[in-house]
Structure 1
Amino acid sequence: MRAMETKASQSLRYFTTYTGVALPFRLVNPIEEAELANRNTFIRASFDESGALIAFDKIVYGEIELSHRYAYDENGTLVGAEIVMPEEEPVVLRFDGAAAVSET
């Protein structure tokens, strides 16, 4: 399983927002790092060597407002997600092969 905390071979990219309700979220409207100085809100995202989204942080006025971390199996299927919002307990979700969700 590709872990939620894997740091090796990551690429960092930036986006204006995300869309959808299914996990992993779909990030839209890519922006260049040079454009961040003129933005109050943006998404900082990490992708693994296969191009899968493994983490993102929604940054609002310099503070992290929302974080997602994703884990995939060897076939690239989402098997886990950790969702963190400031001052709240993290939500950890596990997905089985039938897409059922359990919260821990």
Structure 2
Amino acid sequence: MNQESLTGLAGPNGAGEPACRYFVSYTGVRLPLRLVNPIEAAALSNRNTFIRAYFDDRDTLLGFDKLVYGEVELAHRYAYHPSGALRRADIVMLDEDAVTLHFDESGAPTGD
């Protein structure tokens, strides 16, 4: 997955370019994953592994790329219901087929 895959990435209101921020890691098993330990862009040159995350103008996580030695090892892209509950998660892992998960209005998996 590369930067071109971000075409059309926008928040629930569809407005604006996503803001990019960086993190050391993520936590949890529920989607969307929770990103932890923010880092400044200036600190990236000293890191082999980091997360590049994209947020809309309401600070909603739209997706992230986990970079390891410059290669995207894991990528998530999220879409939300108007209520703010997760609607869809597109997940790509290095050397594996992409997976798309769907969620109902309450954020529960639908099995689609």
Q: Same fold (TM over 0.5)?
A: yes
Question: In 1, distance between residues paired with 2:22 and 2:49?
Answer: 11
The answer to whether the Cα contact below 8 Å between 1:95 and 1:101 also exists between their aligned partners in 2 is: yes
Question: Secondary structure at 1:35's aligned position in 2?
Answer: helix
Shift of 1:97: 2.5
Aligned to 2:17: 9
The answer to whether the aligner puts 1:60 opposite 2:68 as a matched pair is: yes
Question: Deviation per CA, 1:17-76, whole angstroms, max 9, x where unpaired?
Answer: 000000000000000000000000000000011111001000000100000000001121
Structure with bigger strand share is 1
Q: Structure 2: which 5+ residue stretches go unaligned? A: 1-6, 11-15
Q: Percent identity?
A: 55
Q: Structure 1: which 5+ residue stretches go unaligned? A: none
TM-score, reference length from structure 1? 0.89
Count of residues paired in the alignment: 100
CA-atom RMSD in angstroms: 1.5
Aligned to 2:109: 100
The answer to whether the Cα contact below 8 Å between 1:58 and 1:67 also exists between their aligned partners in 2 is: yes
The code of the aligned residue for 2:34 comes to R
The answer to whether the Cα contact below 8 Å between 1:67 and 1:85 also exists between their aligned partners in 2 is: yes
